[in-house]
Amino acid sequence: MKAEYMHTDNNNSRKTSDNRYDNVSVPRNVLLYVPRVYGIPSEFLLVLAFSSFIFLVLFYLIGLYSLLSFLIPVVVEINRKPSNRVKQYLTKYTEKILQRLRKSSKTSVSRNGKYVIVKNGSAKGIIIKISTEYDNGEASFNKLSKEIASLFKGIEASLTFYAIPEKVDVRIPCYNKDGLFGDFIYYRMFLVLWKRFVNEELLFDIINKSQHRSSSIKLDANLSSEEFGLLKDLFDKNYTRMGSYYSSKKPFTIFKVMDANKTMFPGYCEAIELSKTNCVVKFSMIKAPSNYTGIISRKLADIQYEIKEREKRGEKPEYLQNLVESASRIIEKGRSPGNYIVLTDLSFLVYSNNSMNLPRDANLFNDYIRMAGLAVRNETSYKVLSAKHFLDFSNLGKAYPMDLLSAASMTPIYFSKEETKGIFIGFNEANGKPFFFDPFSAPSYNIIVTGETGSGKSYFSRILAISFVEDMDRSVVILDPLDEYSCDCFNASCSVLDLRKSIFLDALKTGGNYEEGKSSRTKVVIIKFEGRDKNKLSSIMDYIQAYFRSVDGLKMVLIEEASILSKDREIGLLLENLTRQSRHFNTSVVIVSQSINDVKERYAIFENSVHSFMFRTKIKPTANTVLSSEDYDLSKLAGGKGMSYSECIYVFGGASKKILVPKREHQLY
């Protein structure tokens, strides 16, 4: 497979406020380059010259039978093409010869005290569990990459990462009232710290000496019995090669990354998640020998020579120019103090439930991984021992040289973590996983929801209130100036206080819950009002203050069209006080408005609300709002009224992500 045939468009990569690594690409695989003379590989020409020499010698000895020597370059060329049936026929018998070799160097996993030890030949390692705080944002990605690079620098061992998929049943209450339990693939991530020709005590010393402290990456050497069993199932896998795949308990095939044409962010992990295929990821990184800079320098000289020759013929070798840039960058990093070249290997084991579905899953994986900017080769057809090499944590095969930061960006630690706590909102566009939201998991509980009419903003707010009552069994007060809510929306005790009827004004002032003369403590209170009558608005604020103090536990106050309240100076100040005091009374105040600019006019509301859901609007956010106009074009968000879904941007802690909010069958837009 030639890397120059791979084309990837990365111009639509997600942006964030942290653009220090914008347009920084992963270096191309310089070692993949083969010098060519007029389009013919130079190694083939060398073999042809060698065959000619053999022909002359044999012709002198045996005459015309010496013509058979010209079969040598033909056999060499056949061996270079993995799809050729002749090679598959030859490798079938080679497999039998190498079966004993495979068994003699099989990877084994065992426990030694609290540590899990993995061995293969002269290599020994300790397996550590990894968990991260990755949020699919570029700032988070860059932070994790730098921490992995720092970890590699500070530890006296080579690193091999494994990411193992597992299916999780998640309740998704978006299609019917009972909810749908969907199968979603999440990944458990492990790190093997290994060295050759060492005893286990030395490995223990390396672990104890490494002082890795990070809030974003957590390393844990204490593996549970379930995790230990997961690793044994992987490394103790019994398999038989069947030509294009391996037959096992679950048939599988092996892919290896040959080249990359992508920026560091976004990574490839999201592409694997979106493909929804079962894929074990292996990534190895070791420090290159000191002479490796010279090896790449010689490659660089060959590439530059070929560029000159092609330019003389009027060609524009863009791929070769990319290789020159990559080689120069790797050499520069390798020669800089405190930095060095890293040899890497990224491989994938794609498996399916049966051999009939495996070709479909393998093709699907191949399509998604190419969209992520990686050129892969099916190693099962190309190499006899591809499965053995994958399960051997110390085997890199033909290494892919990179600078340290690029290598850290290719590690398989950028998978989504499993989250089912809170309210189901929708699906994360970046990885296709369900997005659950817990407003009480942050220092501030308040929420801002913005969007133009028909964007899905009000539907989202209604679903938020319904889920808060029905899924979390909490109380809600809703201020409804546009008469959009009714008790029919809720499967819980509910009261409507209609301020359009003056008889309920006194009831609000006393903080009581009344509906048609009945008094009761209810889960949902809907307050309907119209206009900007100051007395009524003041009564509403007094009611909410009483609600804060009288209702125990977590609760929510949802204010639709908050601009009606905030435009009045005195009422606006009261609203600001509500958002300041909400945390002390375990209350989440939800501010719903047409634009984030309206909310920003009330600084205290803006500063005390850490969660923002922004739906479609043609009004561009002003400076210093939660979302820069360069991050996302809010006017291009899809869905809303009359559609089965809506799109919004969720912003929290400086990071943003696009969420698809599906329609529930029993709730309409």
DSSP string, 579-616: HHHGGGGTEEEEEEES-HHHHHTSHHHHHT--EEEE--
* Residues 118 and 127: beta-carbon distance below 8 Å: yes
Question: What phi and psi values does residue 38 have, to the nearest 5 degrees?
Answer: 50, 45
For residue 200, the model assigns a pLDDT of 86
Name the more confident of 332 and 49: 332
Pairing of strands 341-351, 374-378: unpaired
Burial 358-392 (b: 16+ CB within 10 A, else e): beebbeebbebbbbbbbbbbbbbbbbbbbbbbbbb
3-state secondary structure 409-420: HCCCCCCCCCCC
* Residues 351 and 250: beta-carbon distance below 8 Å: yes
For residue 169, the model assigns a pLDDT of 72
* Residues 390 and 254: beta-carbon distance below 8 Å: yes
- Domain extents for the chain? 3-27+84-288+340-409, 36-80, 294-334, 423-662
For residue 508, which of 549, 566, 547, 559 has the smallest C-alpha distance?
547
Percent helix / strand / coil, the chain, rounded to 5: 40, 25, 35
Question: What phi and psi values does residue 285 have, to the nearest 5 degrees?
Answer: -145, 125
Residue 645 has, within 13 A of its CA and on its CB side, a CA count of 15
For residue 596, the model assigns a pLDDT of 78
Split at pLDDT 50, 70, 90, the class of 587 is: very high
Q: How far apart are CA 75 and CA 620, in angstroms?
A: 64
* Residues 195 and 125: beta-carbon distance below 8 Å: yes
Q: 123-137, 318-332, 506-520: which has the minimum mean pLDDT?
A: 506-520
Kindly report the length of the chain: 669
In sequence order, the β-bridge partners of residue 449 are 592, 613
**C-alpha distances out from residue 222 to 58, 115, 229, Å:** 66, 6, 13
Q: How far apart are CA 188 and CA 129, in angstroms?
A: 8
DSSP state of 456: S
Please, what is the angle between helix 85-97 and helix 71-80, to 10°?
80
Starting at the edge strand found earlier in the chain, the sheet holding 494-498 runs: 434-437, 423-428, 655-662, 645-652, 611-614, 447-450, 587-593, 555-559, 475-480, 524-528, 494-498
Tokens of 175: 């299609």
Contacts of 483-492 with CB under 8 Å at 24 or more apart are: 483/528, 484/458, 484/560, 485/526, 485/560, 486/526, 487/524, 487/526, 489/462, 489/465, 489/667, 490/465, 490/466, 490/523, 490/524, 492/522, 492/523, 492/524
Q: How far apart are CA 611 and CA 449, in angstroms?
A: 9
- Over pLDDT 70: what percentage of the chain? 78
Q: How far apart are CA 245 and CA 355, in angstroms?
A: 8
3-class secondary-structure state, position 120: strand
Burial 597-623 (b: 16+ CB within 10 A, else e): ebbbebeebbebbbbbbbbbbeeebee
Burial 637-669 (b: 16+ CB within 10 A, else e): bebbeeeebbbbbbbbeebbbbbbbbbbeeeeb
Indicate left, alpha or beta for 551 from its phi (over 0: left) and psi (-120 to 50: alpha): beta
3-class secondary-structure state, position 153: helix
Residue spans of beta strands (DSSP E) within 249-332:
252-260, 278-287
Does 494 score more than 80 pLDDT?
Answer: yes
Q: How far apart are CA 117 and CA 122, in angstroms?
A: 13
Residue spans of beta strands (DSSP E) within 338-454:
341-351, 374-378, 400-403, 423-428, 434-437, 447-450
Tell me the H-state helices in 155-291. 200-209, 225-235, 269-275
Q: How far apart are CA 556 and CA 573, in angstroms?
A: 19
pLDDT tens digit string along 272-319? 999 999 999 999 999 998 888 998 998 898 899 889 888 888 888 899
Q: How far apart are CA 612 and CA 450, in angstroms?
A: 8
Does 370 score more than 90 pLDDT?
Answer: yes
Split at pLDDT 50, 70, 90, the class of 3 is: very low
Question: Which positions ≥6 away from 357 have C-beta within 8 Å?
Answer: none
* Residues 658 and 645: beta-carbon distance below 8 Å: no
Does 511 score more than 70 pLDDT?
Answer: no
Question: What phi and psi values does residue 294 have, to the nearest 5 degrees?
Answer: -65, -40
Q: How far apart are CA 242 and CA 412, in angstroms?
A: 28
Cβ atoms within 10 A of the Cβ of 294, count? 12
Cα torsion through 313, 315, 320, 325, rounded to 10: 100
- Over pLDDT 90: what percentage of the chain? 35
Q: Which helix (H) or strand (E) holds 167?
A: strand 158-172
Domain 423-662 CATH assignment equals 3.30.470.20: no
Split at pLDDT 50, 70, 90, the class of 348 is: very high
Question: Which positions ≥6 away from 627 have C-beta within 8 Å?
Answer: 596, 612, 614, 621, 634, 649, 651, 656
Mean pLDDT value of segment 458-472: 89
pLDDT tens digit string along 27-71? 999 998 877 655 566 666 666 677 777 767 766 677 666 666 666
Q: How far apart are CA 80 and CA 94, in angstroms?
A: 16
pLDDT tens digit string along 120-155? 988 999 999 999 988 888 888 999 999 999 889 888
Cβ atoms within 10 A of the Cβ of 123, count? 21
For residue 514, the model assigns a pLDDT of 38
Cα torsion through 177, 179, 180, 182, rounded to 10: 160
pLDDT tens digit string along 374-396? 999 999 877 667 888 899 999 88
Pairing of strands 518-519, 514-515: antiparallel
Mean pLDDT value of segment 412-439: 88
Numbers of helices and strands, H then E, in the chain:
21, 28
Q: 358-372, 399-413, 480-494: which has the minimum mean pLDDT?
A: 480-494
For residue 269, which of 259, 284, 280, 256 has the smallest C-alpha distance?
280
Q: How far apart are CA 41 and CA 51, in angstroms?
A: 16
pLDDT tens digit string along 231-247? 999 998 888 888 788 98
